[in-house]
Amino acid sequence: MFRRISLQRKGFLILACLGLITHEAVSQQKTAPPQPKKFRMGFKASPNFSWMHGLSDEVKSDGAGIGFSYGLMAENNFTDNYAIAAEVLVSSMGISMAHQDTLIYYQNGLGQRYSEVSFDYKLQYVQLPVSLKLKTNEIGKFVWYGQFGFAPSFLINNSVRTLSNPVFVGKKYSPNSTDNDFNGQGGKGVFKDDVSVLRFSMIIGAGIEYRISGNTMLNIGLRFDNGLNDFLRDKAAIGRSNFMALNLGVFF
């Protein structure tokens, strides 16, 4: 009699353990994150601050500017942890630079010398970044990533404003109220063609992705965009434009 009761208790315990294991397996299956999609797309917006790095004695940076990027992003995952990322962005940036030399501006056949000349460019590009993205496995709801690549850009809009001080030589020149700006009417327009149409840069960044629901992922990161070519078309002045961006986006 006692043996039969003991066997029944053992059978009950075995069935209870099997039920618990089955429940845990089903629970894990329900809470397990979905498998990452091989291809995904999303939208992004990126505020940035930009500056110029002077590579010749003629020019130097005159402060940082503020810009903004927005557009589409896409990824093709060729393994769980590696992807090729591509973007189509409209990116604006502000570049301020100061000229070290005294410049001569000719108008109507007359030349006038100016010192302390500064240029404030507002530039807009179409950017086509392509990069390799390295990702961790999902930890909780977070994925950490790093990426590096290149970003060819094409200038689509350009405006410039200048400030300067006239240099007086003897009594041959009579200043007037417009002489503090030698760049045409209101300081706009004359030097627009001094900026290269093509910009080529290297990008490196890092960030996190947070799973909102299903395959919808929130993307937050930082990116450094380092210009590789001279953004000026002036043979006497050489400079490169750089910017740091905060990436905010959503993958679907």
pLDDT digits 0-9 by tens, 181-206: 555 555 444 566 678 999 999 999 99
Give this prediction's pTM.
Answer: 0.75
Which pLDDT does position 146 carry in this prediction? 98
* Same-domain status, 170 and 211: yes
pLDDT at 245: 97
Task: Note the pLDDT of residue 220.
Answer: 98
* Co-location of 141 and 177 in the same domain: yes
Looking at residue 60, its pLDDT comes to: 82
Q: Give me the pLDDT at residue 5, please.
A: 45
* 9 shares a domain with 119: no
Q: Model confidence at 37, in pLDDT bands (50, 70, 90)? A: confident
Report how far residue 213's alpha carbon sits from residue 16's, in angstroms, rounded to the nearest whole number.
34
Residues 103 and 49 in one domain: yes
- Is the predicted pLDDT of residue 159 greater than 90, yes or no? no
Residues 132 and 206 in one domain: yes
Q: Are residues 73 and 15 in the same domain?
A: no
Q: Which domain holds residue 215?
A: 35-251
Same domain, 61 and 94: yes
pLDDT confidence band for 119 (50 / 70 / 90): confident
Both 26 and 140 in a single domain? Answer: no
Report how far residue 116's alpha carbon sits from residue 138's, in angstroms, rounded to the nearest whole number: 54
Distance (Å, whole) CA 133 – CA 82: 6
Could you tell me which residues come within 8 angstroms of residue 177 by beta carbon, excluding any fewer than 6 positions away?
A: none
Find tokens 């503020």 and name the residue.
66
The CATH number of residue 195's host domain is: 2.40.160.20
DSSP-derived secondary structure for 161-178: EEEEEE---TTS----TT
**117 shares its domain with 238:** yes
